[in-house]
Every structure is written in structure tokens, then in C-alpha cells.
Amino acid sequence: MTDTTLTLDRNISQPIVVRERKSGQYWLWLLLAGAYLALPTFGNEYWLNAIVVPFLILSLAGIGLNILTGYAGQTSLGSGGFMAVGAFATYAFLLHLQLTFPIALFLGGLIAALVGFLFGLPSAKIKGFYLMVTSLAAQFFLEWLFLKVPWFYNYSSSATISAPRLDTFGINLNNSLGKYYLVLTVVAVLTWVALNLVRSQTGRNWMAVRDMDTAAAVAGIRINHSKILAFAISSFYLGVAGALWTFAYLGSAGVQSFGLSRSFQILFIIIIGGLGSISGCFIGAAFISLLPLALDVIAQTLFAGRVDAGLLQNIQKAIFGALIIWFLIKEPDGMARLISSWRSRLSIWPLRF
Amino acid sequence: MTLFLETLIGGLLAGTMYSLVAIGFVLIYKASGVFNFAQGSILLFSALLFVTLLEAGIPFALALIPTIAAIAIMAVLIEWWVLRPLTNRSAMTLFMATLGLSYVVEGVAQGAMGANVHALDIGIPDLPIFVGDLLISQFDLVAAITAIALVAILALIFDRTRIGISLRAVADDTRAALSVGINLNRIWQIVWTVAGITGLVAGLLWGARQGVQFSLSLVVLKALPVLIIGGFTSIFGAIIGGLIVGASENLAEAYIGPYIGGGITSWFAYFLALLFLFIRPTGIFGERTIQRV
Amino acid sequence: MTANSAGAGDQDAILRVRNISLSFQGIKAITDLSFNVRRREICALIGPNGAGKSSLLNVVNGVYTPDSGEIQYGNETFRRLKPLDAARRGIGRTFQNNALFKKMSVRDNIMTGLSRHSRTNFIEHALRLPRARREEADFTRRSESVLEFLDLRAHRHTPVGSLAYGVQKRVELGRALVSDPTLLLLDEPMAGMNAQEKAEMAAFIKDINQHLGITIVLIEHDVSVIMNLSDHVVVLDYGRKVGDGTPAEVRANPAVIAAYLGATH
Ligand SMILES: Nc1ncnc2c1ncn2[C@@H]1O[C@H](COP(=O)(O)OP(=O)(O)O)[C@@H](O)[C@H]1O
Ligand SMILES: [Mg+2]
């Protein structure tokens, strides 16, 4: 009939080349080296603390939500709540157990993962919009909890928490460079972990559940396990991001820093950056951090301070909203896709002549 | 017992407000399959516009005309710029688009009309009255009656007018409706306008009580549990859902709240909705279907 | 010897469908249906559209839960089965309307089929521990050999959503095949294909059956394909069995001719 031969149990003659995505890796190393060496040397302190640190933390939170929404396909509006869990849990470990910061941070992340796991359990039964209820339940309940139970903020009258110390195995990181390196290292390590995860069987299972869960079950994937794992891991990332946001960026914060608008912000980061893309989280976070600055500059130069701050904020809000709609219509895969298609167009550009 | 009844009735009356907001959701969901997160912002926008007009000295009835016109224009623009380009995209994408839309509407509304709290007097005294020996808010009573009247009007529109019949056709079977020549885009525009008007009514009632301000747009958050309990596609369900949420929330705050620090209305409705979901994953009035593969 | 396997005494059956009934909101899709599938045979399910063929496959691998009846697979008997349990026991499946993971690449789609063989956990994946790396290399190798077998290597990194329908059908077969199934359920694997593609697909199916010894139940409308490919044919009409036997027997069965072969389809 045809000359199709069966090669299933034979070894294939030529070795399989499994070395894709390599060229991107040099860029990654270069970027990392730049972040460790060049940025602190050339950037000024304001930039590091007011722009780069929050940008990195938001990227991390974006990765957390992207794992859940972009990879595993479970929508959540509760990111802020899980960030709060990480922050308050880390605080408790710092305060009551006097742990060194990285360990407290890790444990804080685990507590957030546990809470994420619990709120993820309904996902076994509930889908889509219905599942959004779970995440909003989490968001509002956690906000309420961290406001109403004074133990969490150690009975302080302002209902805020601030790190007693920021030492890391004896080294004091309570200065701008120290905080920057702390955040950078945590973000770099967790980004590596996230990349490993999404490129592994775990990540493929998530994407399968996202694309079509019935087919995923038929293909032998434990869909409930996959979803709940995504909830837990996502919350771990969000929890760590929340703790860093509190202790390495703001210095002290209350639960107000982790309200619903924070959840939206993280969601916007991944929509703009790209659902289902790790690099997209950084792009989206950069975008969301830089857009207000850019608008400020434009307003300054064009109207020289005649536009008041409130109006500017509303303009910014409207622009964000419009961008979200624009991206959903024109580029549902976000800026990550936009940039990679520019890159590939650029690389074949000479051929057009 | 009196306390219980008063709490219950107060909750039910407040619940009519939730119902009113939820009806707007159901209309839009039925016609265009969108869970419209921007419903709250549209409510804020229209209430804000109305108050601004009142404050400019325009009489009540006259101010309604440009407000409703603005709602209609907004509906048309939304249909052009958001719904039409996103036809055939997933419900989740549409939802996220309405999230973006809510930012646009809020930004524009507050940018143009300011973020101050506006007092609104629509002529209903907010004084409690005795009905028998129960103390009931007069305002809530009027609000409830308004809500009931609005629902009756909507029911009439849907039963008797061509637009209503077309809308039902679209909701039942979009493709069939298209094939008999119903203009889907026009239906969407009309439905979004009608939903906007129900939003305006809710916004004015609510705004009269607590001032027209940003927090009005947050009622959208209560609509989700209401819809879960009542089902996304049933106006009757939305009313029941609103009443259930309003009543149970009020009772919970009164009877459980004191023991755990109060303020539990922020999340109580969500846990209630979750409970419902576990018992009936598609809502009280939703149909159980088996996914085709 | 006939391949008629309706008899309960068939020792060699891998799958026994017993008295299955299924309805949707009161509408009967399958009524009291029984038949057996022997180990290593190719069994064709035929019948007009809406006869309940796809629903039957869905019952066999647990996507639908029957109202009554039971499924015996190997030595186990199930009243209700979950898709995951079916997959773990080696029941592979493709769907009539492709059920692929649209945004994933062809190879990633195929690799998902290996889930039931995974022995590593997410922590090993997260940290790329040696066991995880070895498993990933092994999974990649197994997927590559399936890609080669199904002539899909050129598409390895293409998102499946952008592939032609016929190619997608092959990818779906690959996803089922890579899991090393004992029983394959193929729902119209040749639908929408041209003659050459059909011939290729038929050859793949034959190969899979003969060289890998995998039992196959497939749904197909093309009578000549069925006559060539299958050892055993079960005919459905309005959710009931109207014929069961070798292709030749079925072809000669007047009830079948009346119900199906005579009818336009
Ligand atoms: N998930 C479902 N919900 C409701 N009805 C269904 C579902 N799946 C199948 N049916 C109905 O069951 C009957 C059999 O369908 P199916 O098994 O797809 O037939 P076939 O594959 O033989 O063409 C049809 O009437 C179909 O409409
Ligand atoms: Mg079928």
C-alpha cells in the first residue's frame, strides 16, 4: 500500500536535535549580567528603588498569575489577596520566629501556596465565570481578615506591617542596593524555576487543561491535580511578590496595598505582556511601570504643569483600559508576541530586497 | 423576632437594588454572551452625568433626556469598538475586554466630571416608618417599588414589542436569529442601552442614599454572586438572587458579624454563592448540559 | 470461522459492552447495546449520523456516563468510568471534531499523551533534577518516534491550531498512540480527507494494529475502507445494534442494508 514503515520501537537512525530556543539563552545571560553589574553602577538610586525594584516585583507577580491564567487557563481576580497572604505570613515568620529574611520569605510563599491550594479546590468542580467567584471570595475574605484580625499586623495602630530587619544570613540588606540585589536574585531564581516548569510535563499538562480539559483527561492528564497545583504554585509566586512589595519596595504596608485594583493591575500586566508567556510578564510589567512616567513627561512638556494630577490619573486609567481592549482585539498574545514577530521580521528584512 | 424581621426586610429591600443591577447583566449576557464588568462604571457614568446636569440647574425630567442619550451613544460606541471586533471570541476574552472598558468609562467619567462626592436629592425622604410594629426604611420601600415597576416594564417590552421578540430569538439561538434577518448589532446596541438605563435607575437610587461617587461602580462586584445564585440567563433568577443575597447578607451581618468583627458583607455573598455552586454548579435556574465532544 | 463476538462466552474479548443505555434530557441516544471486541482486532462501528456511535465511544472511555449497563475492559467491570481512569488503563482516543490543544505545538500535544507514564513530580520539574531531565529526554525521544512514524516531523514546532484538518487528525492519533495504548478508539479518523490522505491513514491504522498489536475500534463511513480494514463490524441505528459480524456477514444482512447501507448518508 504505502511505504510507511513502523519505527516506533526502533531507534531512529539520526540523533534527534533537541536544542531549540538556544539562541535566546545568550540574551538571557547578557540581560542578567547587565542587571547585576551594569545597572547598579550606572543607574541612580531613585531609578533602582522607585522603578526597577517595583518593576521586578510586578513581573514576579505577573509570572504567578500567568501560571494560573495564561498557562493553566483558570481566571483569577484574587492576586492581591494572595500577595497579602505572602506579606503577612512573611511578617509573622520574621517577627515571631526571628527567621532570616530569605527563609521567612520562602515560608511566607509556602503559606500563600497553602491558601491558594485551599481556594483552588473548588476548581475541580467549577469553571469559567463561576470560578471567578472563588477568586473574588478569596480576595475579599483575605482583605477583611488582614484588617480585622490585629494579630496579623502585631496590633499596630496603623494596621500596617514593616520588616523588623532585612538581614540575609547576617548581611544587612536594608539599603537601596541591598534591596535591589535581594529582589533581583529572588526574581531571577523564580523566573528560572517558572521557565523550567512551563517547559516540563507539568507545564504541558497546564496548557492542555487550558486548551481543552475534556481532551486533557482523555489523554491521561490528572486535570484536577493540574489545576490545583497551578493555584498553589501561582499563589506561591504571588505571595513572595507580596512580601517583597511590602518589605523591599514600600518598607511598610497595610492590606490596602493588596486590594482588588492590585489584582486588576497584575491581570493587565499579563494581558498586555502576553498570556502564556514568561517573558511577557516582564514586558507587561515594564509597560505598566513606564507608561505613567511617560505620560507624566508628556504632560509636563506639553502642558507644563497645567494638568492636575487627578486628571492625569484618570487619563492614564482610560488609556490603560483602551490598551487592554486594543490588545485583546488586535494581539491577544500580547506584546511578547508583537515583539517576537517584529524580531523575526527584522531578521528576514534584508531578504525583502 | 422584630429585630429578625426588620433585618430580613431591610435586607430584602436592599436586595432589590442588587436585583436591579443584576438585571442589566442578564440582559446583556442573554443578548451578547458577555459578562459585562463595565456595568458598574456605566452606572457611575450615567449617575454622575445626571447629577452634574442637575447641579448645572437643569430640571430633573429634562436632565434625563441627555443622560439617556449619552447612554445610547455609549452603547453604540461600545458595540462598534468592542463587541463587533470581538465577535466569536471566548467569553473570557470578552469579559476581560469589559474590564478594560470599565477603566475607560471610569477614567472618562471622572476625568470629565471630577471625583467629588455629589449629593443627590430625588425627593424621597430617607426616614424610617412604622409598618405595623416594624420599623422600615421608607427609602428602601420606594426603591423596591421602583425596581418592581422597572421589571414590569421590561417584561412588557420583551413580551409585546418586536425588539423584545427579536431579543428573545437572539438569546435562544443566535444563528437562527441571524438567518431570519435579525440585525444582531442593532440588538446589541439596544440591549446595552436598556441595560444602561436600568443601571441609571439603580445608580440614582443608590446615589441618592450614599452620594454619587466612585464607590457606586463597585456594586458590579455584588452582581456576580447574585447571578451565580440566580443564573446568568434569567431575569426572574436575577431578582430572586438579589433578594437572597440582600437578605442573607443583612442577617449574617446582624447575627454573625458581631462575633467575628463585623464588616463581613464584603465577602459573605461570595461564600454564599460558592455554597450554591457546590450544591448546583450551574445556578438555581441554569440548565445542566453535557459538553459535546 | 466468524468473528461474530456477540456471544458472552468469548474468552478473547478485551472489551465487553453490556446493555448500555444512554440518554440526553430524555432523548435516547443508545438503547440496551451489547457487543464484544476481541483482542487485537479492528472493529468498525458504522451507522447513520446520530446513530449514537460517538456517544458509545464516549461511554467506553468515560466521557459520558451511561444510564444503565456496564463496560468490561480486561478483567475489570465498570458501571461508571472516568476518562482519566480509562486513559490510565491504556484506552486511547481520538475525537470526531478534533480535540487538540490548539495553542500548543505539535510535539507538545503529542507529549501530553505521555502523562500517564510520568514518574516525576513538579518539584523535580521545577528544579530540573536529573530524574526529570532523563524523563524529559525519554519523552522527547518517544514523541519524536511517533512524529516520524506519522510523518509529522516537519510540523514539530507548529501550533496545531494552524495546521490543516487532515494533519490535525494525524496529530491526534499521535497523541493517543504515544501513550502506548492497549485499545484505541478512533472517531472518524478519515473524515474530511481526500483519497490519498485516507489511504495513508488506513495504512497507519493497519500498521498500528498489526505491528503494535493494538486493538482498534473505529467509526468510519466509507464502506470500502471498512471492508478492507476491519475484522469485525458493528452496525448501529437509532442507538440500537442492527448488525454484528464480519464485514461480509454484515454486508449480507438485510436489516443492515435496510438501516444503513441502503440509506443515503
Ligand atoms: N452532549 C450531548 N448533549 C445532548 N445530546 C447529545 C450529546 N451528544 C450526543 N447527543 C445526541 O445523541 C445522539 C447520538 O449522537 P452521536 O453519538 O454523536 O451520533 P453519531 O456519532 O453516530 O453520529 C444524537 O441525537 C445527538 O444529538
Ligand atoms: Mg459521531
Shared-domain flag, residues C214 and C229? yes
Identify the domain containing residue A181 by its residue range: 45-346
Q: Which atom of ligand 1 is nearest to the CA of C219?
A: 21
Which neighbouring-strand residues pair with B212? B118
The answer to whether C236 touches C242, Cβ cutoff 8 Å, is yes
pLDDT of residue B286: 62
Is residue B118's pLDDT more than 90?
A: no
Residue B135 per-residue DSSP state: E
The answer to whether B290 touches C24, Cβ cutoff 8 Å, is yes
Residue B212 per-residue DSSP state: B
Mean pLDDT value of segment C118-131 = 96
Query: Ligand 1 pocket, C122 CB below 6 A?
Result: no
Shared-domain flag, residues C57 and C163? no
For residue B249, what is the enclosing H or E element? Answer: helix B235-255
Q: What angle do CA A36, A37, A40 make, to 5 degrees?
A: 85
Query: Three-state SS across chain C?
Result: CCCCCCCCCCCCEEEEEEEEEEEECCEEEEEEEEEEEECCCEEEEECCCCCCHHHHHHHHCCCCCCCEEEEEECCEEECCCCHHHHHHCCEEEECCCCCCCCCCEHHHHHHHCCHHHCCCCHHHHHCCCHHHHHHHHHHHHHHHHHHHHCCCHHHCCCEHHHCCHHHHHHHHHHHHHHCCCCEEEEECCCCCCCHHHHHHHHHHHHHHHHHHCCEEEEECCCHHHHHHHCCEEEEEECCEEEEEECHHHHHHCHHHHHHHHCCCC
pLDDT of residue A2: 38
Q: Which of A109-113, A201-205, B8-12 has the lowest mean pLDDT?
A: B8-12
pLDDT digits (tens, 9 = 90+) for B166-194: 877 887 777 787 777 788 888 889 999 99
Query: Ligand 1 pocket, C24 CB below 6 A?
Result: yes
Q: How many residues does chain C have?
A: 265
Q: How many residues does chain B have?
A: 293
pLDDT of residue A9: 44
Residues in chain C whose beta carbon is closer than 8 A to a beta carbon of chain B?
24, 54, 58, 63-64, 95, 97, 99
Domain stops at, among C180, C207, C229: C180
Mean pLDDT value of segment C2-20 = 70
- Total domains, chain A: 1
Task: Inspect the interface and report whether the beta carbons of A197 and C95 lie closer than 8 Å.
Answer: no
Provide the chain B residues 274-293 that lie in CB contact (below 8 A) with chain A: 274, 277-278, 281, 291, 293
Q: Which of A146-150, B206-210, B270-274, C143-147 has the lowest mean pLDDT?
A: B206-210
pLDDT digits (tens, 9 = 90+) for C229-264: 999 999 999 999 998 999 988 888 887 777 665 554
The answer to whether B22 touches B225, Cβ cutoff 8 Å, is no
Is residue A29's pLDDT more than 50?
A: yes
A151 close contact with B: CB closer than 8 A: no
Domain stops at, among C158, C180, C202: C180
What is the radius of gyration, based on Cα positions, of chain C? 19
Q: Count Cα neighbours of C199 within 13 Å in the Cβ-side half-sphere.
A: 6
Domain stops at, among C180, C205, C220: C180
Q: How confident is the model at residue A166 (pLDDT cuts 50, 70, 90)?
A: confident
pLDDT of residue A286: 95
Is residue C4's pLDDT more than 70?
A: no
Please give the single-letter amino acid code of residue B199.
G
Q: How confident is the model at residue B163 (pLDDT cuts 50, 70, 90)?
A: confident
Average pLDDT, chain C: 90
Is residue B63's pLDDT more than 80?
A: yes
Task: Inspect the interface and report whether the beta carbons of B96 and A329 lie closer than 8 Å.
Answer: no
pLDDT of residue A301: 83
Q: How confident is the model at residue C1 (pLDDT cuts 50, 70, 90)?
A: very low
Shared-domain flag, residues C4 and C118? no
The answer to whether A90 touches A247, Cβ cutoff 8 Å, is yes
Shared-domain flag, residues C223 and C246? yes
A332: domain CATH number is 1.10.3470
Query: Ligand 1 pocket, C53 CB below 6 A?
Result: yes
Shared-domain flag, residues C163 and C210? no
Shared-domain flag, residues C170 and C209? no
Q: What is the pTM of this model?
A: 0.91
Q: Which of A85-94, A191-200, A233-242, A340-349 has the lowest mean pLDDT?
A: A340-349
The answer to whether B64 touches A307, Cβ cutoff 8 Å, is no
Q: Which of A29-43, A226-240, A270-284 has the lowest mean pLDDT?
A: A29-43
Q: What b-and-e string marks burial along B230-266, b requiring 16 or more CB atoms within 10 Å of the CB?
A: bbbbbbebbbbbbbbbbbbbbbbbbeebeeeeeebbb
B293 close contact with C: CB closer than 8 A: yes
pLDDT of residue B217: 85
Query: Ligand 1 pocket, C45 CB below 6 A?
Result: no
Identify the domain containing residue C82 by its residue range: 1-90+184-265
Shared-domain flag, residues C210 and C107? no
Mean pLDDT value of segment C59-75 = 94
User: Grid coordinates representing B92?
Assistant: 473570557
Q: How confident is the model at residue A7 (pLDDT cuts 50, 70, 90)?
A: very low
The answer to whether B51 touches B112, Cβ cutoff 8 Å, is no
pLDDT digits (tens, 9 = 90+) for A245-277: 999 999 999 999 999 999 999 999 999 999 999
Q: Which of A154-158, A304-308, B231-235, C85-89 has the lowest mean pLDDT?
A: A304-308
Among candidates A243, A240, A214, A209, which has minimal Cα distance to A226? A209
Mean pLDDT value of segment B17-41 = 87
Shared-domain flag, residues C133 and C81? no
Q: What b-and-e string marks burial along A227-249, b requiring 16 or more CB atoms within 10 Å of the CB?
A: bbbbbbbbbbbbbbbbbbbbbbb
Shared-domain flag, residues C70 and C192? yes
Is residue C3's pLDDT more than 60?
A: no
Shared-domain flag, residues C245 and C213? yes
Q: How confident is the model at residue B14 (pLDDT cuts 50, 70, 90)?
A: confident
Q: Give the distance, in angstroms, between the CA of residue B289 and the centroid of all CA atoms in the same chain.
A: 27
- Total domains, chain C: 2
Mean pLDDT value of segment C177-199 = 92
Whole-number Å distance between alpha carbons of B245 and B230: 10
Shared-domain flag, residues C228 and C143? no
Average pLDDT, chain B: 86
Task: Inspect the interface and report whether the beta carbons of C82 and A217 lie closer than 8 Å.
Answer: yes
Which residue has a Cα nearest atom 26 of ligand 1?
Answer: C50
Shared-domain flag, residues C105 and C218? no
Give the distance (Å) from ligand 2 centre to CA of residue C25.
18
Domain boundaries, chain B: 2-114+124-213
Q: How confident is the model at residue A8 (pLDDT cuts 50, 70, 90)?
A: very low
Q: How confident is the model at residue B289 (pLDDT cuts 50, 70, 90)?
A: low
Whole-number Å distance between alpha carbons of A186 and A177: 14
What is the ipTM metric for this complex? 0.91
Integer angstrom CA distances of residue C83 from A216, A218, B4: 9, 5, 49
